[in-house]
Amino acid sequence: MAKKKSGKSEWIDWLKALLIAAIIAIIVRTFIFTPIVVDGPSMQPNLQDGDHMLVNKLNYKLNEPERFDIVVFHATEQKDYIKRVIGLPGETVHIQNDILYIDGKAVAEPFLAEQKAMLQEGQKYTQDFSIEQLPGDDTVVPDDHILVLGDNRNDSTDSRSFDIGFISYDQLVGNASVIYWPLDRIGFVDE
């Protein structure tokens, strides 16, 4: 016959379990995942204002960003931004007539195909742009930096903006690829 635990012993077991759970949650939040809420229209139509996402903070401690990753970075001391990686270190980047060119070669942006297909003749989804238009004398993306753009190219504060420019690896919080709220949008984001 099993002995019944005393009320005090049971409370201590519950407190231990809660303490362990809290420590695990703090470790996961600090070092592995953190939530972010998309604020504004700059990543539409792929991300919507108010989407809740998980940011993998560990990925860029182990790997470098890849083209078309959706990254979260410290834009200011108070504000984090979410954008898409377009240019990697050492690359030339320009957009002309709605075509992305990396090192002079056209690169498809499948995440924008539907929006570009809806444009009327003569309209551009992305205004022509090149690295030379950014502040500084860079002709390529600097070492340990990336060039980021919002998916909603005409309504995005991104690398084309004077106060953003290139994003250093030190500014990166992590990459976001999972939407967990609202329920009808749960899933992985297409890259």
Which residues are known to be catalytic? Answer: 42, 83
C-alpha angle 7-8-11 in degrees, rounded to nearest 5: 90
Candidates 104, 100, 103, 109; CA nearest to 129 is: 100
Q: Assess contact for 38 and 50: CB atoms under 8 A.
A: yes
Task: Count the neighbouring beta carbons within 10 Å of the beta carbon of residue 164.
Answer: 21
Q: Which residues contact 99 (CB under 8 A, 6 or more apart)?
A: 106
Q: Which residues contact 56 (CB under 8 A, 6 or more apart)?
A: 32, 33, 174, 175, 176, 177
